[in-house]
A and B are shown apart, each in its own frame.
Chain A
Amino acid sequence: MIRLTGITKQYATKGGMREILKGIDLTIKPGDHVGILGRNGAGKSTLVRVIGGAEPPSSGTVERSMSVSWPLAFTGGFHSRLTGIDNLRFICRIYGVNFDERLAFVKDFSELGSYLYEPVGVYSSGMRARLAFAISMTIDFDCYLIDEVMAVGDDSFRERCKVELFEKRKEKAMLIVSHSHRYLKGTCNRFLLFRDGAITEYEDFEEVYAEYKLLLEEPQKF
């Protein structure tokens, strides 16, 4: 279970303090698949970071009794001078898991072949995404954070990601940020709509999507 109580988050900007999250209360239970919708800059990714613990909230509490993943297929932690293997080894070290078993899986799933022994700096963005997704799948979490991930890779790779994530791990909790209609509809059973730093929960996808469409028609203001 993950419980957020009264989460707020402010950032200092030139125009003064900006409040991105204005008192969020949210409980995620094991097996929940939560889809998050909202405009650019609404605070979706900030919320993901707070839930993942990458960033502390300005006020409020986060209680976690489930292990929470880093944002899936996230490539930022890679060092461009390190090889794919080195980056995998780093992840294995900090999570304290056996490297050799993981290596076999990453080789097989990423299909990067000898590129795994090259510095990540020479990878194409698609190859990075493959590596990142494969590495994400090597650690077993109770809750996966998924931030706009499936846009990467070619169709066959995307299909395999889907199987790996939504079929093999469908009993896990998931938090999915996406703008994709198709993607959210089939996978989530709870929907959150971001609006002015607050969230409204919907159970029905068509309902939330209609609201989201309305929201998009309003002029964007930052």
Chain B
Amino acid sequence: MASNPSLNDTKLGGSSINVQVRVIYALLVRELLTRYGRNNVGFVWLILEPMLFTLTITAIWTATQSIHGSDLPIVAFAVTGYSAMMMWRNMPGRCIGALTSNKPLLFHRQVRPLDVYVARNFLEFIGSSVAFIFLITAFWSVDWMKLPEDALQVLGGWLMLAWFGMGLALLLGAISERSELVEKLWSPMSYLLFPFSGAAFIADSLPERVREVLLYLPMLNCVEFIREGYFGSMMKAHYDMAYVAIFNLCLTFVALVLVRGLNVEADYE
């Protein structure tokens, strides 16, 4: 019988940032494996999932020549709008009730609720981003869409949107452990928000008063900012990124307080 290996490499302590990075990485891999399976094509779903959605919407809009209130190229319009929506919508979707299924892991003291949320959000962020980049590249290679005019602005808007999505996900995730209502209400809520989030229109096409109200939605600001970066001079964008930053900051703060306050009991099975 092999003896138990020398155990002096146990780094149970370590600096807390090291421990946290290790835990999040482990959760990330675990999540990846459980969601997409062991076989090699499994990981492709991470990109394929959001891509299929975007493709379908693009196809429908192209076929019906949908009015989106501008003369922007439709493929690029769909890709920017829908990829963005997928991200802020899926992050909360992944975090709501996430703790319930991961409760037993809390028996490992270094695994905290925040780690579970961060791992899931990060995975969602990577999936959406890779899908976004892949779609642009694919459509660009067959000349269906052009590359962004200002890639850096697109990136900036994307990151701000990801921040918003993550804050929202943490908030809803933490509340969902306290009340089951969140799980039931989020799906209809996200459908209601979808038409207003800028996926299917640009703010400039709205009556001024409606626009002013809708611009309280951070995701609309982000999408406008992303689209301005993408189309540049072809559109007149409306946004206030300082507002988004302040909104995100407050959202994240409240969400972190709620996550910190989670009083979950690790359960045996």
B contact face: mostly helix, strand, loop, or mixed: loop
A-contact 0/1 string along B4-42, CB 8 Å cutoff: 111101111010001100110110011001100110000
Residues of B within 8 A of A76 (CB): 103-104, 107, 267-269
A43 within 8 Å of B by Cβ?
A: no
B184 within 8 Å of A by Cβ?
A: no
A2 to B1 Cα, complex, angstroms: 33
State whether B263 touches A93 (Cβ < 8 A): no
Chain A nearest CB from B83 CB (Å) reads 28
State whether B263 touches A108 (Cβ < 8 A): no
**Given A81-B34, A93-B25, CB of A49 within 8 Å of CB of B265:** yes
Interface residues on B, range: 35 or more
Interface residues of A, CB < 8 Å — how many? 42
Contact of A77 among B6, B18, B29, B105 (CB under 8 A): B105
Residues of A within 8 A of B12 (CB): 67, 95-96, 139
A197 to B19 Cα, complex, angstroms: 35
Residues of B within 8 A of A77 (CB): 104-105, 107-108
A133 within 8 Å of B by Cβ?
A: no
Contact of A53 among B1, B7, B38, B109 (CB under 8 A): B109
B257 within 8 Å of A by Cβ?
A: no
State whether B26 touches A140 (Cβ < 8 A): no
**Given A56-B263, A71-B107, A81-B33, CB of A96 within 8 Å of CB of B7:** no
Enumerate A33-62 residues with CB–CB distance to B below 8 Å.
45, 49, 52-56
A19 within 8 Å of B by Cβ?
A: no
User: Residue on A with the closest CB to B266?
Assistant: A54
State whether B10 touches A52 (Cβ < 8 A): no
A17 within 8 Å of B by Cβ?
A: no
A28 within 8 Å of B by Cβ?
A: no
A202 within 8 Å of B by Cβ?
A: no
Chain A nearest CB from B27 CB (Å) reads 8
State whether B2 touches A105 (Cβ < 8 A): yes
A97 within 8 Å of B by Cβ?
A: yes
A70 within 8 Å of B by Cβ?
A: yes
How many contacts A-B (CB < 8 Å)? 108
A76 to B38 Cα, complex, angstroms: 21
A56 to B19 Cα, complex, angstroms: 20
Residues of A within 8 A of B37 (CB): 81
B57 within 8 Å of A by Cβ?
A: no
Chain B nearest CB from A194 CB (Å) reads 18
B48 within 8 Å of A by Cβ?
A: no
B110 within 8 Å of A by Cβ?
A: yes
A212 within 8 Å of B by Cβ?
A: no
Contact of A104 among B2, B14, B104, B109 (CB under 8 A): B2
Chain B nearest CB from A52 CB (Å) reads 6
Contact of B14 among A90, A93, A96 (CB under 8 A): A96
Contact of B108 among A55, A81, A94 (CB under 8 A): A94
User: Residue on A with the closest CB to B31?
Assistant: A79
User: Residue on A with the closest CB to B23?
Assistant: A94
State whether A54 touches B4 (Cβ < 8 A): no
Report 17 cross-chain contacts, Cβ distance below 8 Å, ordered by A residue: A49-B107, A54-B106, A54-B109, A55-B265, A68-B109, A76-B107, A76-B268, A81-B37, A82-B33, A82-B34, A94-B26, A96-B19, A101-B6, A104-B5, A108-B1, A147-B268, A168-B4
**With A76-B268, A77-B105, A82-B30 already in contact, 16 other A-B pairs whose C-beta atoms are closer than 8 Å:** A54-B106, A54-B265, A55-B264, A55-B266, A76-B103, A77-B104, A79-B30, A79-B34, A82-B33, A93-B26, A95-B108, A97-B9, A98-B5, A108-B2, A138-B5, A139-B12
